[in-house]
Structure formats: structure tokens, C-alpha cells
Chain A
Amino acid sequence: TQLLEQSPQFLSIQEGENLTVYCNSSSVFSSLQWYRQEPGEGPVLLVTVVTGGEVKKLKRLTFQFGDARKDSSLHITAAQPGDTGLYLCAGAPSGTYKYIFGTGTRLKVLA
């Protein structure tokens, strides 16, 4: 069974703090995606990482793909209340025809 485990599951921090969310698996992925989902809406793509060791930056968000392509992290610098939401990692395990989603990290940034 291919699983993507995210940690932490919940995170509540003060505005201005930094945080890191982790996405781990025992499976190898050709790529991993990070999405953000608001209540009642579909997942919105933030980034795709493809190459092992790759680092991508999106303003205050930094995404890294593990060297072995089994894990990824999302780091947010100086979090703002607008960053509040559900963050999901997803990927298509090798040999399958589907994307699977991680367990999700629900972030709340307090003003």
C-alpha cells in the first residue's frame, strides 16, 4: 500500500514564525506536488518537484524533494494569517495510474 504521511497533522503558530511541514513515504515518486485546499473547494496546486534534491521557492514558501524521491518538505518563512489552510502533498507512485494524497497538515496562523 502506497502511503504519504504528513507531519504535523495540525499546526497553530503566531504570525511571523517559521514552520516546516513534512511529507514522507516508503515509495519512490517520479514527482511530488504540494496543494493547498480551502474548505469546500478543490485542491489548488502550489508546486511540482521532479528531480531528487530539487528546491523550489514560491515567495515565502520553499519546497524540497528528497534525494531518494521518497519525501518532501514545505517550509514557510514569516507565516501570515493568509497562509492558514490545509496543505496536501500528492504524487503518482511508480507503476500506478493515480495520484495519491497525503494525510494533510492543517495550518492556522494567528495574528
Chain B
Amino acid sequence: EPEVTQTPSHQVTQMGQEVILRCVPISNHLYFYWYRQILGQKVEFLVSFYNNEISEKSEIFDDQFSVERPDGSNFTLKIRSTKLEDSAMYFCASSEALLGTEALFGQGTRLTVV
């Protein structure tokens, strides 16, 4: 069964460092998403991406965040200068379309900023 894969599963980084989280969405899916979940809290939308551009982003997704689909298979989330409050689980998801379909999620990357 096709699945969304994310790497690494866990990343520890120093405050102020840049991190790149990687995702391989399901191959025939066209929409890609990043979400985050701070421990014990709700799953929060960060950004959606379609046709090589951002479709929608939340207020969390500020100038420190960027997304890229560099090679047609990977979908990355970059945080330029990490802060302690960026510590969370980051989930990548993809969907075939938007209306009437579902998003399938990866297992997540646990980011710990120290």
C-alpha cells in the first residue's frame, strides 16, 4: 500500500540552526501539506503546495519557513533559524485532489530544538 515517508524520524538541533525535514509523498498525489503538532496539542496546518507553488499557508508559516519540491519526488520543509518553540512533531501529507478526497499522513519527524 502506498505511503508517505518522512526522514529523519527524529532530529535534534541547536537553537538558531537551520533544519530541513524531508518527505516523499504518494507518487500520484498532486497536493502536499505540512502540519505540526506540539506535544499534547492539536494538529495544526502549516502550508499546502500544489503545482510547484504554495496554495495556502497559516500564520505559523512565517519567513523562517519555506517549502520546496526540488526533484519531483521529495517535498521539503526548511526552518531557517530554529527557535525552542519550533520543537514539535512535523507531519507531511499528500492528497490526490482537494475536494472530496482525503490526505494521507507520514509518520512524522520529531524536531527537538535545544
Mark A residues whose CB is within 8 Å of B: 30-31, 33, 35, 37, 40-45, 48, 50, 88, 90, 92, 96-101, 103-104
Contact of A50 among B48, B98, B100, B108 (CB under 8 A): B100
Complex CA distance for A41 and B108, rounded to whole angstroms: 6
How far apart are B67's CB and chain A's nearest CB, in angstroms?
A: 13
B93 within 8 A of A: yes
Give per-residue flags for B44-77: 1 if the beta carbon is below 8 A from chain A beta carbons, else 0: 1100101000011010000000000000000000
A-B residue pairs in contact (CB < 8 Å), sample of 27: A30-B99, A31-B100, A33-B103, A40-B89, A40-B108, A41-B108, A42-B106, A43-B91, A43-B105, A48-B100, A48-B101, A48-B102, A88-B43, A90-B43, A90-B103, A97-B31, A97-B98, A98-B33, A98-B45, A98-B55, A98-B58, A99-B45, A99-B93, A99-B95, A101-B42, A101-B43, A101-B44
Interface class of chain B by DSSP: strand
User: B35 CB to closest chain A CB, in angstroms?
Assistant: 8
Q: Which B residues touch A41, using CB under 8 A? A: 107-108
Q: Counting CB contacts under 8 A, is B104 at the interface?
A: yes
Determine whether the beta carbon of A31 is less than 8 Å from that of B48. Answer: no
Q: How far is the CB of B25 from chain A (nearest CB, A)?
A: 13
B22 at the interface (CB under 8 A from A): no
**Interface bracket on B:** 20 to 34
Given contacts A41-B107, A42-B91, A42-B108, contact A98 B102 (CB under 8 A): no
Question: Max chain A CB contacts within 10 Å: which of B91, B105, B110?
Answer: B105
Instruction: Tell me the minimal C-beta distance from B45 to chain A in angstroms.
Output: 5
CB distance from A3 to the nearest CB of B (A): 11
Please indicate the chain B residues that have their CB under 8 angstroms from the CB of A30 in the complex.
Answer: 99-100
Q: How far is the CB of B98 from chain A (nearest CB, A)?
A: 5
Given contacts A40-B89, A99-B103, 9 further A-B contacts (CB under 8 A): A30-B100, A31-B99, A43-B91, A50-B100, A90-B43, A96-B56, A99-B93, A101-B44, A101-B45
Q: Which B residues touch A88, using CB under 8 A?
A: 43
On whether the beta carbons of A45 and B110 are closer than 8 Å, the reply is no
* Contact of B42 with A104 in the complex, beta carbons under 8 Å: yes
